[in-house]
Chains A and B, each alone.
Chain A
């Protein structure tokens, strides 16, 4: 797509402001690269827009997911997570996650291993068999808290060339804010940082009942207790669709929540339930749209719920002059 002058200026300013930031390596996880690559693409566009040179974490594996693997065998969970962290340590870069589950696993494992020397020694016995060693020298970040803390709401407003006059249901998800004592992101019941990022795009964050409730995907619930999982997401979709003037879309911070809301709607409709038809976007897709990228650039047609009405509304929004 063509970049306008305002956007070029914003990008130059953003690049200058990010020169003193620590190197960062993007951790893709599983669901984004393997099911929703449009989120990977949108994230690349957003980070490029801020002039952030992101390193690739080549050879990374599953984080591994906190629900099944952490509960199955803690040392295995820590060892595989530590290997992913060590890949970043060897690059001298912090890890940037785009998924709540990856953030939960890698951030928690990093903290546990930094604080528990006995466990760190045990994990290093395994890692040394493949020539690696956990040193505890990097941090694990999530794109949402990274954008809020390191980039800031004001700079995000500055790169918006197409303010999104949309009504948005913001879904934080679980691992982004919990455990709250380790995340340091304010209230886990009434957080505001994600809403602020959404509103920086010109959208309105619309409140709805049970906003902080789990989507029903995590903890191995979606894979093994599917009916329960669907009942949970249906409850959330009812709450979102029941908001007075309605919403234009759901915005999440996690591809597993994304899969649950997006695929869940289709599944509920196929089983004779309500056809909600609410488009689901990861935050980086929303921000990329506000930065002037098209619905094709951010791959909205790859979702299970494809709303022509929503896409036309976004495409019809006027750029800022």
Chain B
């Protein structure tokens, strides 16, 4: 497994990644979640008697800022977004 991970990491760092995987990575940078909340998710949460937003980065701007600073610090934003990284 280590060999597969190493090869894949090398490919990604050379810019080789499937667009769907890049989109998942971009979602993490944008929202702090690989699968972000949407309107249907909020509706379902309310139906279950839960808050529309979970107690995660989804409802905590400071926490999301923190995750985004970490992703910038490791260079992940540039790795995924390239010149579009802020």
Report which A residues bind B (CB closer than 8 A). Answer: 28, 30-31, 33-38, 40-41, 56-62, 64-65, 68-76, 79-80, 83, 126-127, 129-130, 220, 223-224, 299, 302
Contact = CB atoms under 8 A, between A and B. Distances in A.
Contacts of A83: 66-67, 70
Contacts of A34: 33, 35-38, 41, 54, 58
Given A34-B33, A37-B50, A129-B73, A72 B41 contact: no
Chain B contact surface mostly: helix
B48 A38 contact: yes
Interface residues of B, number: 49
Nearest to A58: B55
Nearest to A40: B50
Chain A contact surface mostly: helix
Contacts of B23: 223
Given A30-B35, A41-B49, A72 B66 contact: no
A59 B24 contact: no
Nearest first, the 3 closest Cβ-Cβ pairs linking A and B are: A59-B63, A33-B54, A224-B20
A79 B8 contact: no
A48 B33 CA distance: 27
Nearest to B36: A34
Given A33-B37, A56-B55, A299 B47 contact: yes
Contact of A224 (B18, B32, B50, B69): B18
Interface of B: 4-5, 8-9, 12-13, 17-21, 23-25, 28, 32-38, 41, 44-45, 47-50, 54-58, 60, 62-64, 66-67, 69-71, 73-76, 79-80
Nearest to A56: B55
A30 B36 CA distance: 7
Nearest to B7: A71
7 contacts: A30-B36, A34-B36, A35-B44, A59-B63, A76-B76, A302-B44, A302-B48
Contacts of A35: 35, 41, 44
B66 A223 contact: no
Nearest to A75: B74
A41 B24 contact: no
Contact of A38 (B37, B44, B57, B67): B44
A107 to B, nearest CB: 15
Nearest to B62: A59
A65 B21 CA distance: 11
Contacts of A56: 55
B55 A73 contact: no
A80 B71 contact: yes
